[in-house]
Structure 1
Amino acid sequence: MILDTHIQGIPCRVRLTYHRKEDSPVLNGPMDWADPGSPEEVDFAVLDMQDKPAPHIEREMLPEDRAAIEQELIAAIHAEAEQVRADAAELAFNEWGAYA
């Protein structure tokens, strides 16, 4: 997945390189079994507008830029998953679903 974005006003792209879903907390059972879970994680590579690695742009990135890009990527991942679910639901209820 590649998204267009800006880092410190510089137009660039980011490519998703790692994604781990959120682990839900485990709060039932004995206290020594409790697990606080972990948040969703993403990592990305910064690219120029020709999709080539851009370390010079990445060096300009502030923590706020990183956080914003991570949230953009997570939102895009969720939107893509929702579209896949919607497409699957549409096929399931299509009268030609079994034959399409």
Structure 2
Amino acid sequence: KYFGLEGISLPTLSSVVFFPVGLLVDKIIDHIPGLNRIHIDPETVQKKFGIFGEPMMVGTILGILLGVIAGYDFKKVLLLGISIGGVMFI
């Protein structure tokens, strides 16, 4: 409430260290033409990408990509994708 940032909480003291970094990066992004007009939030992503914008699908896709980049075999790639998708659903 003090900084006017609605919906932000700092549950552990270790996260307070990154707060000034976040404010600095936010100010830098606000001054970059084009980048400062991009509005990304869950509703916008879901509307733009449809089912692929759902958190579970994003997690599944990211998990599969991470598994492929890590060089996992097919079974482990699918397991990682489904696991991360499940975590995103929770």
What's the TM-score once normalised by structure 2's chain length? 0.27
More strand per residue: 1 or 2? 1
**Which structure is larger by alpha-carbon Rg, 1 or 2?**
1
What's the TM-score once normalised by structure 1's chain length? 0.25
More helix per residue: 1 or 2? 2
